Amino acid sequence: MAISELPVPVAVATDRPAVQWGPIILGGLGASAISMVLLAFGSGIGLSAVSAQPYAGASAKALAVISGIYVLITAVVSFALGGYVAGRLRTPSEDFVDERHFRDGAQGFGVWAVSVVVVGLLAASGAAGALKTVAQMTAAVTAGGAAGAVSAAGNPANASGAVSLNPTAYAIDRLFAPSAGSAAQAAGQPTPLGAAATAQPMQATPQVTRDEVIAPVTRVFATSLKDGQLAARDRTMLVQIVMQQTGLPQADAEKRVDEAYADLKTAEQKVRDAADQARKAGLIASFVAAATLLIACAAACVGAAAGAHHRDERVVVRAFGSSRFW
């Protein structure tokens, strides 16, 4: 096995530092600024491609794919230019050729690291609250978010006074809706024949009584959704409550309970499906973001190496017919 000897350096390394932070910071700030400009330009293009009208504009999937490709191109271009500036401005040291090439490329890595850390800190300061909220919502849905929604059914209005579109509150409203016979009597109309013995007008009850009625219903719905089925004794209790509150016969009360529970279970499944889709979308977005950052790191290193090569070869870069930096 042949062992190659290391080349003897032509000159001793000077006191120039291996890492020159001036070009690195300038390149990192330049890469961040260029990426912001390109992303702002791309946002304008994306807004022009979407439309609030039905069947108009680009679809969500097409827009997501195009946005991902554009972000990747933006990262490559911006970090390559930032690395080029850092590599070209670096003062070379009198050392091994391979070592000098490594240090030139490391300048691009420094540009990438500084830019990612700065942008990450700025993004974290503004997105920490949003990420915390998303994490709490995901955990709530995973542990039974629909059961948590059931517990809020007794308070259909939020702090601002707006009515909350709660599936459980809607199911309870349908459960205790006045029967046809009670509605007819309330309007002063005669009750249909055969309904007088079974349908009684719904009496107005205080808020305390209403809360006492709704509380067990919400607990039954919460437990049933968690277990996946409505127990027979719970179903019997709900039927009795509906009969007492609405005056419906037993058959109609049983039908109303079954329909309300089926609708609530369907709504709960839709919530879980939406949460699962959001989780998958977030997972894909995380991997795409990580891959984009790694590609941007490679682009910064390549750009720094190209800038150092042009510096050593004294290559004049002309832009818009001028050799100056504009």
**Contacts with 147 (C-beta within 8 Å, 6 or more apart), sequence order:** 222, 223, 225, 226
CB 238 within 8 A of CB 257: yes
Q: Which of 2-6, 32-36, 176-180, 247-251 has the lowest mean pLDDT?
A: 2-6
Please answer whether residues 18 and 102 qualify as being in contact, where contact means their C-beta atoms are separated by less than 8 angstroms: no
Q: Write phi, then psi, for 163 (nearest 5 degrees).
A: -75, 130
- pTM of this structure: 0.61
Using CA atoms, how far apart are residues 162 and 98, in angstroms rounded to an integer?
69
- Summarised one tens digit per residue, pLDDT across range 170-207 is 777 777 777 665 544 444 444 443 343 344 444 444 44
Integer angstrom CA distances of residue 109 from 80, 91, 94, 302: 11, 16, 21, 9
Task: For 139-173, write each residue's pLDDT tens digit.
Answer: 554 454 444 444 444 444 444 444 445 677 777 77
User: Which tokens hold the place of 233?
Assistant: 């004794």
- Token digits for 97? 């050729």
Give the chain's largest Cα–Cα span. Answer: 113
- Domain boundaries along the sequence of the chain: 21-134+289-311, 149-272
Task: Give the pLDDT confidence score for residue 165 in this predicted structure.
Answer: 53
Query: Look-up: residue for tokens 């999937």?
Result: 61
